[in-house]
Amino acid sequence: MLPPCHGLRWLACLALWAVAGLCAEDGPPAPAGTAQPAVQPGAEFSLRWDPIGGDVPVYVPTDYDAGRRWPVVLFYHGMGGEPTTALFRGLTNGKGAIVVGMGYAKHAGELRTAEEKNAHQLKELAQLERMLEELPRRLRVDRSRVFLAGVSKGGWQVSAFAQAARPPVAGYAILLAGRLPRGHMDRPELQDKAVYVGTGETDANNPYARMAAQFFGRCGAQVTWEEYPDRGHEVDPAAPRLLAWVDMMLGATGDTRRERAKDWVAGRLARANDTADAGKCYAILSGVSDDPRYRFCGEALRAQVEAILEQVSLKSEVQPEVQAQRVYERGLWEEQTAAGLSDLESALALYKQGAKRYPKTDHGRLAEREAARVERLVDDGHAQARARAPKLPRPKVTITK
């Protein structure tokens, strides 16, 4: 689902959500006589869910054991879809995590005003918190490892929850969606939360996904950004960072996770050291520092990567890319915090600067693309301003001989 130009500005109101109590790890038992769906490892059961007026699927991993607690992914589907667990079942190979296919709260008619949309978001929050209370009645849930995920419309929904930082969860996966510009707003407290943002190279949501990655990074989150080459509004289920994020967040923890991360980072570090090309070395190490495994590889390896990355970034052949990225990111931040047309013009000037100065760099080409897009927005803004301007009466001119 592609975002309307102005329809999602109500997301800024999400920070005003009422504070709700954190549910306990295990809820109270179901009332006597209530039929409980059978829990079978490697299978789904249907959970009757009144907030959506239907059922939601709950997938139980193949290795499920009631003797320990399990991470949970609550997944929101895209426009026109149905509650499903398929994507994350595939990403996890059916192991390691409970997956819930979330539906959307019922509402009557089209949501037109900001007040209606905000009221509906309160309903979405209420049903999500209710689900977090319900699941521990059926399954052993690790409340410290609950993740929200969504694709397209679902990605925008998850982004809204993240921007409100309600309810408290371990992290978010935002697919084919992002964050729309809405001026300066309070930043949610997301320190060390795990955020994955991914979208297609040619997806119309691509710049907004980049804005989400930048914004949540400035909120203290551990952000993983990924672009799917040669794809539009389509998830790549084989995307390497997406698979790594799933493994690090939903797979084994402790020493096992640390060893996996260390092995991968050490291998990439060796590869970077083996190349005499500074540009290739920089690309490899930049990719390492942006990967979710980097977070778990240990301080010693991170220090090595950072030291070499700092050295190679000063090389003359690498500096254009480094500078282009800085200019591009300044433009992106200026755009997403724009409070008016003049701010948008400032973003456009930065994009044009990056495109002109660094045309042969990756971020220079990105800046050129965004400049073309933002220039259209600026032109539309000027046209709207002219249309709103009061029309002054034209003075009559009398010609006398």
Q: What is the pTM of this model?
A: 0.88
* Residue 32 is assigned to a structural domain of this protein: no
In a domain, 34, yes or no: no
For position 131, what pLDDT does the model report?
Answer: 95
pLDDT digits (tens, 9 = 90+) for 368-385: 999 999 999 999 999 998
Write out pLDDT tens, residues 125-147.
999 999 999 999 999 999 999 99
For the sheet with 43-49, list strands across it. Answer: 43-49, 54-60, 98-102, 70-76, 141-151, 171-175, 194-200, 222-228
Confidence of residue 390 (pLDDT cuts 50, 70, 90): confident
Name the residue with higher pLDDT: 110 or 120. 120
Q: What is the mean pLDDT of residues 107-115?
A: 71
Give residue 78's pLDDT. 96
Same domain for 54 and 103, yes or no, is yes
Shared domain for 239 and 298, answered yes or no, is no
| Whole-number pLDDT of residue 22 | 27
User: Do 272 and 160 share a structural domain?
Assistant: no
Q: Reply yes or no on whether the pLDDT at 23 is more than 90.
A: no
**Which pLDDT belongs to residue 302?**
97
Residue 358 has pLDDT above 70, yes or no: yes
Asked whether residue 296 is domain-assigned, the answer is yes
Whether residue 230 has pLDDT greater than 70: yes
Q: Are residues 106 and 212 in the same domain?
A: yes
Give the chain's domain count: 3
Give 3's DSSP letter: P
User: Above 60 in pLDDT, residue 205?
Assistant: yes
In a domain, 181, yes or no: yes
Q: Show which of 233, 251, 269 is a domain's final residue.
A: 251
| Spatial contact of 136 and 25, defined as CB atoms under 8 Å apart | yes
Whether residue 398 has pLDDT greater than 60: yes
Same domain, 363 and 219: no
Q: Which of 204, 220, 251 is the last residue of a domain?
A: 251
- At 171, list the tokens: 């992290």
324 and 243 share a domain?
no
Which CATH number belongs to the domain containing residue 68 in this structure?
A: 3.40.50.1820
Distance from first CA to last CA of the chain, Å, rounded?
67
Contact 264, 312 (CB under 8 A): no
pLDDT of residue 401: 60
Distance CA 392, CA 386 (A): 12
What pLDDT is attached to residue 28?
Answer: 40
Domain stops at, among 200, 217, 251: 251
Q: Is the pLDDT of residue 157 over 60?
A: yes
Residue 160 lies in a domain: yes
pLDDT on residue 232: 97
Residues 339 and 300 grouped into a single domain: no
Instruction: Quick: pLDDT tens for 281-324.
Output: 999 999 999 999 999 999 999 999 999 999 999 999 999 999 99
Give the pLDDT of residue 37.
61
Q: Tell me, what's the pLDDT at 400?
A: 66
Q: Are both 69 and 183 inside the same structural domain?
A: yes
pLDDT > 70 in the chain, percent: 87
Does 192 lie in the same domain as 161?
A: yes
Quote the CA–CA distance of 127 and 55 in Å, as a whole number.
Answer: 13
pLDDT of residue 19: 27
Domain that holds residue 13: 9-17+39-251
What's residue 147's pLDDT? 98
Classify the phi-psi angles of 276: left when phi > 0, otherwise alpha if psi is within -120 to 50, otherwise beta.
alpha
pLDDT of 258 over the 60 cut: yes
Q: Is residue 1 part of a domain?
A: no
Pick from 136, 130, 24, 149: nearest CA to 69: 136
Fill in the amino acid letter for 329. Answer: E
Q: What is the mean pLDDT of residues 13-20?
A: 33
Categorize the per-residue pLDDT at 59 as very low, low, confident or very high, splitting at 50, 70 and 90: very high
Q: Is the pLDDT of residue 351 over 60?
A: yes
In this structure, are 58 and 117 located in the same domain? yes
Task: Decide if pLDDT at 25 tops 80.
Answer: no
Q: Contacts for 279-284 with beta carbons within 8 Å, 24 or more apart?
A: 279/317, 279/318, 279/321, 281/308, 281/312, 282/309, 282/312, 282/313, 282/315, 282/318, 282/321
271, 125: one domain: no
Residues 290 and 263 in one domain: yes
Distance in angstroms (rounded) separating the CA atoms of residues 137 and 28 = 7
Q: Whole-angstrom Cα distance, residue 149 to residue 92?
A: 14
Residue with tokens 């994507």: 87
Query: Which of 324, 319, 375 lies closest to 349 in space, CA to CA?
Result: 375
Across 250-267, average pLDDT: 97
CA distance 53 to 50: 5
- Look at residue 394 and tell me if it is in a domain: no
Whether 129 is in a domain gets the answer yes
Q: What is the pLDDT of residue 389?
A: 80
What are the angstrom distances between the C-alpha of 332 and each of 187, 318, 325? 17, 21, 10
